[in-house]
Structure 1
Amino acid sequence: MNTPADPFLDPLATPFNDPGLPQGSRLRVGAGAGRSNQLAERYALRIQQGLAAPGSRLPSVRECARQHGVSPSTVVAAYDQLQARGLVEARSQRGFFVRAPRRTEEGSAPRALAQRSPPVDATALIRGMFATASDRPGPGSGLLPPDWLDATLLQRALRRACSQADVGLRYGEPAGDPDLRQQLSQRLADLGIDAAPRQIVTTTGATHALDIIARAWLQPGDAVLIDEPGWAVEFARLSALGMRLLPVPRGPLGPDLAAMAQLAALHRPKLYVTVSVLHNPTGCSLPLAAAHQVLRLAEAHDFAIVEDDTYAWFAPNHAPRLAALDGLRRTIYVSGFSKILAPNWRVGYLAAPEAWVDRLIDTKMISSLTTPALTEQAVAWCLEQGLLRRHAERVQDRLDTARSGTMRLAEQAGCRPVTPPRGLFGWIDTGLDTDRLAELLLDEGWLLAPGSLFLAVRRPSPFMRINFATSQDPRFWRAFEAARIALQR
């Protein structure tokens, strides 16, 4: 093993107080642990937390030395430590790569590293969403900032629900709270979707609804059409259930219909899972003509459609929904309230053809028995009183202002929009490998959502998803420009 060099003595080292270095990338001068140990621990923690996927390449020795302001020999010593711990492997003439998790004597991966490649990508961003160490907003976050939410409304709704004499003292109805399902039936009517309360099943968030549908409809090995780019959590969940993913390229005008038709003819998929309105990550909505063609393909090839309308409260009611055009014949509609009310209010729902409902309720009961009546009654009251609608209108107005300001900052930083800015998210072209960009900015406390996160098979991408509500801080864009210069050297 090479001996760590002192950067103040090594002529190849960059001084630790070099003002050109991003602040979070510098190691600590005079720290108890040697600089090679500090660097090794930084990368080890990132690998163990799933923020660096198996097979991903570490920066070259000289690039890492430049990023962190140390000598190349210090980097070599750190990489040697990581290799000795089984976290990375050296490949001749190619560099150092993150190793797949080691197997224990029982034949399973250690708990902290027991992730397959698709879930690694998905859970990396989720872990960042849950992290509280940084006080900086996360440009890659999928949530509204806390100060955009109406805490007073939530408190009033909970007090109202708690005033009911028997609330929470017994299991709720398997299909969900009757008052909420009645309100949801009216909400769907406003979107042009005719769904009686008996066609609606409440869930613990929209993600739970998607999981119920997959478990009720699919068997391991079944083929599922998905949008690409699309949401990594859905890729990871379907992969974990043993499904074969069929990525359909998604652009500003919707899915590539020719590719969808070809995939459907070859693989006979059971489902197509899509976000038709304010698609994540591009922000695009499905044009009416494309929606009609998607339904024709579903009819011709006999697959069902799962329409994830998670961002419905950021979109106009008249936006074309597949479930409205289809009349809930072969479409299952999914939505929820976590994005607009509060992340921890895990209230979601699905609306399905009446003949399919019992099957979905049975699957719900097996997975969770029932859903919490307290929060469901609180949401029902917010809908009934019109308070949620008014809150959503205020958020939309605020988001319109944030969107224009964020895009101005992004364009000044050298980025350009890939798709027209709409809704909560922007899909922008940075001109860089955004995996490397995300790694560098993570050191400074900025959570990014690189383009590779939204691909069914991970590969480098210059695209990045930004949250308009959490990307307005000029400090981030200054850090972005500094990181871009560092990567271009």
Structure 2
Amino acid sequence: MLQLQPQSSISLVAQIVEGLRSQIEQGGLRAGAKVPSIRQFAHAHQVSVFTVVEAYDRLVAQGWLASRPHSGFFVRRRAQADGREGGPARAQVAAVQGFDAMWYMRKIFEHRHLSIKAGCGWLPGDWLAEDGLRRALRSLASEDADLGGYGDPKGYPPLRQFIAEAFAEQEVQVHPSQVLLTQGSSQALDLAVRRLVRAGDTVLVDDPGYANLLFSLRFQGATLVGVPRTPQGYDLPALERLIVAHQPKVFFTQPRLQSPTGSVAQLAHLHRVLQLAEKHDLTIVENDIYVDLDPNPRPSLASLDQLSRVITVGSYSKTISPNIRVGYLVAHPDMVEDLAQLKMIAGLTSAEFGERLALGVLIEGRWRKHLKGLRERLAEAHQQVGHRLSSLGFELFAEPKAGMFLWARHPLVSDPVALSNKAADHDIMLGPGHLFSADLGPTPWMRFNVAFSLDTKLGEFFQAQGLG
């Protein structure tokens, strides 16, 4: 039996996962052994069935257990680096990393109550358009609107028209039929992955890059090749070498206010990326979800390419609310039709109610004022957090003075994973850099969300660890 501690700040799910994983690593549970059924484990340890289900699901996702229908859960045989059956080599990697991207994503949502979410990927509620959303909700409730049925497969037409007009202001000629509304940018990226990538395909990604996208591509069976990010955008010589060497089909990238580095690609870099894409017949998926946080109007890959070989993704989760789950994808007409069909196969249509709410916020007269205030607030947070991290001895990768993130490392921290585990015990969520790595390799870098890193307790924690 495991010794679970219900009063610990670490969730019971995490304790079960770590306990069983340790037993597998140490040989207490051998490959092929059957573990107790969900109900047996729950009864023996006096925890809920739902807790055990979540823990077992996590262990399956991480490759420690295998689920066999009508038989139960078994310790999975794990391949070593030299190809032999076993587990020590992979277990050592797991022990170093502590958790993978999917585990960490789940942990964030399990621990939303943590007071300092310095590693998360959203903004505090009082930074978002909560008042505008409430006004839109009241307005929608007072309308004689037909809220029945499934709605348009491509999404609420008036919102698609609004987005097309917004792209026109960015000098991208878009017809509303080229706009596909999605349940957040995550679904938009997932649709692009499913349309463009097959198992075994080689794709280019930012390195470091957007953690959720990297996980989705790995799940699809893609071979990821990381394109090194620089404070100015891309390592262009490396990009060209990688294209020639690997002949990828797609490049998934985030030129503007990139997660996790915060860097912004220079105009010359965007031109060169498009030149290489044209020369080598490369499709580009541009993740531009932070466009509304950018105080400086600047060209995008979509505007330079006019959606010839660029698919661009956007979202209102970062500025209105992540709760309404409204994102969008804009592409060449033929590509949009394919993506719309995939959307219908997966879930018919997106929720028109949320799309109507989003439009209500966007067309209200206070939207531009909200964006202006949000950008100013983020700029101030960048200045304060950047100064505090620097004073503690952190090196900043870039200083964008906009967007949500700073990417930083400390010369005394070689293992951000260990530091992150300690931070969780102090009510702090950090973002260790390996989660954003194309190869999940160790890195001393960490992602800081400036909006959640203003709390002085974060600096006090680092000082208590001997930093600064």
Q: With structure 2 as the length reference, what TM-score do the two structures score?
A: 0.81
CA contact (8 A) 1:138 1:446 kept: yes
1:391 corresponding residue in structure 2: 370
Secondary structure of 1:398's match?
A: helix
Larger-gyration structure (1/2): 1
CA distance in 2, matches of 1:120, 1:53: 14
1:145 corresponding residue in structure 2: 124
Q: Which amino acid aligns with 1:355?
A: D
CA contact (8 A) 1:44 1:87 kept: no
Deviation, structure 1 residue 227: 0.5
2:438 corresponding residue in structure 1: 456
1:172 corresponding residue in structure 2: 151
* Pairs aligned (count): 419
The alignment status of 1:193 with 2:172, answered yes or no, reads yes
Q: Which amino acid aligns with 2:64?
A: P
Alignment deviations for residues 177-216 of structure 1 (CA, whole Å, 9 cap, x no partner): 1100111011112223221111111000011001111112
The alignment status of 1:302 with 2:302, answered yes or no, reads no
Alignment deviations for residues 363-383 of structure 1 (CA, whole Å, 9 cap, x no partner): 111111001111111212222
Equivalent positions of 1:238-317 (< 5 A) are 238-316=217-295
Alignment deviations for residues 144-194 of structure 1 (CA, whole Å, 9 cap, x no partner): 111222322111112223334343201111111110011101111222322
Deviation, structure 1 residue 280: 0.6
CA distance in 1, matches of 2:98, 2:184: 19
CA distance in 1, matches of 2:437, 2:458: 25
| Bigger Cα displacement from structure 2, 110-119 vs 426-435 | 110-119
CA distance in 2, matches of 1:356, 1:414: 48
Q: Which amino acid aligns with 1:101?
A: W
CA contact (8 A) 1:161 1:375 kept: no
1:324 corresponding residue in structure 2: 303
Deviation, structure 1 residue 473: 0.9
CA distance in 1, matches of 2:424, 2:248: 38
Q: Which amino acid aligns with 1:351?
A: V
Secondary structure of 1:370's match?
A: coil
Consecutive unaligned residues in structure 1, runs of 5 or more: 1-32, 55-78, 89-97
- 80 and 361 in structure 1: CA distance in 2 versus 1, 3 angstrom threshold: closer
- 467 and 109 in structure 1: CA distance in 2 versus 1, 3 angstrom threshold: farther
- Residue 65 (structure 2) aligned to one of 102, 110, 114: 102
Deviation, structure 1 residue 241: 0.8
The alignment status of 1:345 with 2:336, answered yes or no, reads no
1:426 corresponding residue in structure 2: 406
2:53 corresponding residue in structure 1: none
CA contact (8 A) 2:286 2:310 kept: yes
Q: Which amino acid aligns with 1:456?
A: A
CA distance in 2, matches of 1:384, 1:87: 60
- Residue 466 (structure 1) aligned to one of 448, 457, 462: 448
- 245 and 82 in structure 1: CA distance in 2 versus 1, 3 angstrom threshold: closer
Alignment deviations for residues 376-403 of structure 1 (CA, whole Å, 9 cap, x no partner): 1121222223433221111111111111
Deviation, structure 1 residue 37: 7.4
2:459 corresponding residue in structure 1: 477
Secondary structure of 1:144's match?
A: coil
- 380 and 38 in structure 1: CA distance in 2 versus 1, 3 angstrom threshold: closer
Deviation, structure 1 residue 119: 13
Consecutive unaligned residues in structure 2, runs of 5 or more: 32-58, 79-89
- Aligned Cα RMSD in Å? 3.5
CA distance in 2, matches of 1:310, 1:109: 41
Q: With structure 1 as the length reference, what TM-score do the two structures score?
A: 0.78
CA distance in 2, matches of 1:141, 1:271: 27
Alignment deviations for residues 29-62 of structure 1 (CA, whole Å, 9 cap, x no partner): xxxx98x979999698546558x998xxxxxxxx
- 385 and 421 in structure 1: CA distance in 2 versus 1, 3 angstrom threshold: same
2:423 corresponding residue in structure 1: 441
CA distance in 2, matches of 1:112, 1:174: 43
CA distance in 2, matches of 1:188, 1:112: 51
